[in-house]
Amino acid sequence: MQTRQLGREGPDVSAIGIGAMSFAGFYGETTEAEAHSLLDTAVELGVNHLDTSNVYGMGKSESIIGSYIAQRGGNPFVIATKAGITRDPASGERYFDNSPAHLEEELDKSLSRLGVECVDLFYVHRREAARPIEEVAETLAMLVRKGKTRFVGLSEVAPSTLRRAVAVHPIAAVQSEYSLSTRAPELGLVQECERQGTALVAFSPVGRALLTDRPPTPERIASSAFLSGNPRFVAPNYAANIAASAALRTLAAEAGTSAAALAIAWLLAKSPSVIPIPGTRNPAHLRELVAGANMQLSDAELTRIEDALPVGWAHGDRYTTAQWVGPERYC
């Protein structure tokens, strides 16, 4: 397994990690035993970077990772978790809280569920727009000083936000959606991460399975609260995206590999700062993704991929209007 550094001063991690939102049933029901089997496969393949959050299943994802660590008698992973998204208890409406009290309280709960004294990386999951990012960076620095996290990160932020935060405290990682179907990070975020020595942790690197040999079926989409309303998976965009992404599946078949592997290999070739964190519940699918992390694409192969799926090929936005509340738009 190739490795990449999680920030300028952070640990080396596997070139791809695992996004553990899938452990909480986001893309379909799964059991603790199934998640543990996937983690066993990850250890076997040398995948040691796990990304979770306090809101994934309201702690379920973290608890599953914690039970795995407890049952195996040790922690083989570099663990990242996140906080900052919460809900009003009266109205149930989602909002963002980056206050020191909230972030520390939620991190303490995450540490308890994970069964560890310190996480390797703690992100602000969504920025609270009214609170200066410099104040948030000071809070993150405080959590490092207290020994509750080794490194800190931000999620779904603009390049300008990263620059301001780094002026206060080193930011090891910025998390953003990045794939052949979502290229916005190339308009400033990739470049800023490279300048700052910050890892760009790319979630949904295979386009929520659109960039695989098994794209979501209408039945699977209908069963998912997220996909059933997502612009790229509703008519007429869904059919158009299935047709367009077929070009990647054709290239992969010609190369004797999977579309998912090719999508991961392409993403890793875009910048040495990029670390994809695909989410999966299936050990066989994880092996496909790891195969992509071990591929080296030539310039000619990269050109063929981008000719097949040029910038802007995807039909529909990556989020609905409601889902766009929180992520920072910068271009």
Tokens at 81, concatenated:
């978790």
Pairing of strands 85-87, 94-96: antiparallel
Helix, strand, or coil (residue 281): coil
Mean pLDDT of the chain: 96
Q: Find the farthest-apart pair of alpha carbons in the chain and give their distance in angstroms, rounded.
A: 57
Average pLDDT value for residue range 101-124: 98
**CA-based R_g, the chain, Å:** 19
Structural contact between residues 110 and 54, judged by C-beta atoms closer than 8 angstroms: yes
Least Cα distance to 297 among 263, 252, 266 occurs for 266
Among 277, 259, 66, 284, which Cα is nearest to 153's?
A: 277
Question: What is the tens place of the pLDDT at every residue in 120-165?
Answer: 999 999 999 999 999 999 999 999 999 999 999 999 999 999 999 9
Residue of higher predicted confidence among 220 and 108: 108
pLDDT for 26 = 77
pLDDT confidence band for 331 (50 / 70 / 90):
confident
Structure-token match 């070739």, residue found: 269
pLDDT of residue 92: 84
Q: Which residues are catalytic?
A: 56
pLDDT tens profile 164-220: 999 999 999 999 999 999 999 999 999 999 999 999 999 999 999 999 999 999 999
What is the pLDDT at residue 267? 98
What does the block give as tokens for 193?
């991460």
Q: What angle do CA 169, 172, 175 make, to 5 degrees?
A: 120
The residue whose two tokens read 């727009």 is 129
* pLDDT tens profile 19-62: 999 898 777 788 999 999 999 999 999 999 999 999 998 999 99
How confident is the model at residue 315, as a pLDDT? 98
Q: 224-269: per-residue pLDDT in tens?
A: 888 999 999 999 999 999 999 999 999 999 999 999 999 999 999 9
Instruction: For 261-305, write each residue's pLDDT tens digit.
Output: 999 999 999 999 999 999 998 999 999 999 999 999 999 999 999
Q: Which tokens go with 7? A: 């920030």
